[in-house]
Amino acid sequence: MRAAAVRLIAQHGCAAVSMRQIAAEVGVQVGALYNYTPDKQSLLCQLMETHMADLLAHLEAEDLKGSAPKQLEGFARFHMRFNIPRKDEVFISYMELRNLTPENFAKIESMRRTYEDRLEAILKQGEDEGVFVIADSRITAMALISLLNGVINWYRPEGRLTIQGIEQIYWDLVRGAVGMRG
Amino acid sequence: MRAAAVRLIAQHGCAAVSMRQIAAEVGVQVGALYNYTPDKQSLLCQLMETHMADLLAHLEAEDLKGSAPKQLEGFARFHMRFNIPRKDEVFISYMELRNLTPENFAKIESMRRTYEDRLEAILKQGEDEGVFVIADSRITAMALISLLNGVINWYRPEGRLTIQGIEQIYWDLVRGAVGMRG
DNA sequence: TTTTCAAATGAACATTTGTTCAGTTACATG
DNA sequence: CATGTAACTGAACAAATGTTCATTTGAAAA
């Protein structure tokens, strides 16, 4: 059911998908859905929360350490590898924020903030090491995430590039952006 | 009316905004809206089409010429200056694509493609001039647009940075990404 | 076999949706 | 003043929405 909801919501948007459509996709009647979620809002929020928690847990598991460039490369490659196969979830997590209640929004937003902070920490470390040239670590962190996220707008599994190839291209872009190519 | 629609749709999403809400925002009854648009879908499409046409026209007016680095800087700065004050429209143009009919989608998508092509041409010119180091001009073009677009996710007029400052930071990121800092 | 109980049904509910349209308004033109 | 016309109203429409719930189902436990 979550999987069906993710697919439909990513494709049409939360407000544009009815509980009946989700039920039909699962092969069940509407009422049955309410055995699994108290309401539509909770369902949406739980999808986003699960995704973000998953993201943070996997980042943690990467256990990045060592020099800032090494960590940045690890972060960038992790981000792509994790998000590309989850483009529906990523899309939802960015687009449906506005449909959350204030409390749910705050919850998701703080998880996203945690993720951004991790990247910012790497950038600051790189500044300290004197290997990165960065004007503003906070903005650069968000800009890099936008850059990396861009891939989900055009990526198609049947496209001309392999995931490894894409990973390499984007890592080169990131590397240059933090002034690491000179 | 268009202004009201843009504000509401950017805030809540197209499917989540009813014609009655738009009418109320304008201070009018529902029926009156249908003197200005044949239906909701056309309204949405027209908002996006107007925005994209506006974008292309203004880019044209920039009349970028000269060396690739100069053109790229012009493009990047133009992109930020144009889009930051239009964050609602930009948001809609990315998020509501999926709610367009196939014909309307094709129309908007081809305008976006034109814009991307212009940037890609600059990147290719830079490769020819030997001043850019780029693995894949198409992907780099889309990646740079994602990077630049990121700003609309966090920009607030009352924030700590001026538009000029932001422009400079992002231009530095772009410059580095295409290998122009070494 | 009988009992139990979680899960699914299917119909119902009050709202809300996009859209239409006959009628009213208000204002510029003759 | 009268006339024409463009814009707006307000009610109506069928369809679709999220949600509830008494009832049925089906399979595991006794």
pLDDT for A9-44, tens place per residue? Answer: 999 999 999 999 999 999 999 999 999 999 999 999
* A59-74 average pLDDT score: 97
Q: Quick check: A179 and B176 CB within 8 A? A: yes
Q: Tokens 């046409």 — which residue? A: B53
Q: Is the dihedral of CA B141, B142, B147, B149 positive or negative?
A: positive
Q: Could you tell me which chain B residue has the CA closest to the CA of A99?
A: B12
Q: Could you tell me which chain B residue has the CA closest to the CA of A91?
A: B95
Q: Please state whether the predicted TM-score (pTM) of the whole model is above 0.75.
A: yes
Tokens read off for A6: 């993710």
pLDDT at B182: 62
Mean pLDDT of chain B: 95
B182 closest CB neighbour out of A136, A139, A181? A181
Nearest to B145 by CA among B86, B93, B84, B75: B75
**Chain D bases near protein Cβ (<7 Å):** 7-12, 16-22
Q: In this predicted model, what pLDDT tens digit does every residue of B111-149 receive, in sequence order?
A: 999 999 999 999 999 999 999 999 999 999 999 999 999
Q: Tokens 């014909």 — which residue? A: B103
Strand C contact with B47 (CB < 7 A) = no
pLDDT at B181: 77
A139 closest CB neighbour out of B99, B139, B169? B169
Asked if pLDDT for residue A182 goes beyond 70, the answer is: no
pLDDT at B1: 86
Distance from CA of A31 to the nearest CA of B (A): 23
A181 pLDDT tier (thresholds 50, 70, 90): confident
Tokens read off for B22: 């738009």
pLDDT at A1: 86
Q: Could you tell me which chain B residue has the CA closest to the CA of A11?
A: B98
Tokens read off for B64: 């970028």
Rounded CA-CA distance B182/A165 in Å is: 23
Strand C contact with A153 (CB < 7 A) = no
Question: In chain A, positions 133-152, which contact chain B (CB-CB < 8 Å)?
Answer: 133, 135-136, 139-140, 142-147, 149-151
Rounded CA-CA distance B62/B179 in Å is: 24
DSSP code for A96: S
Q: Is the dihedral of CA B130, A171, A120, B174 positive or negative?
A: positive
Q: In this predicted model, what pLDDT tens digit does every residue of A122-145 receive, in sequence order?
A: 999 999 999 999 999 999 999 999
Alpha helices in B27-179 (DSSP H): 30-33, 40-62, 68-83, 87-95, 102-129, 137-149, 151-154, 163-177
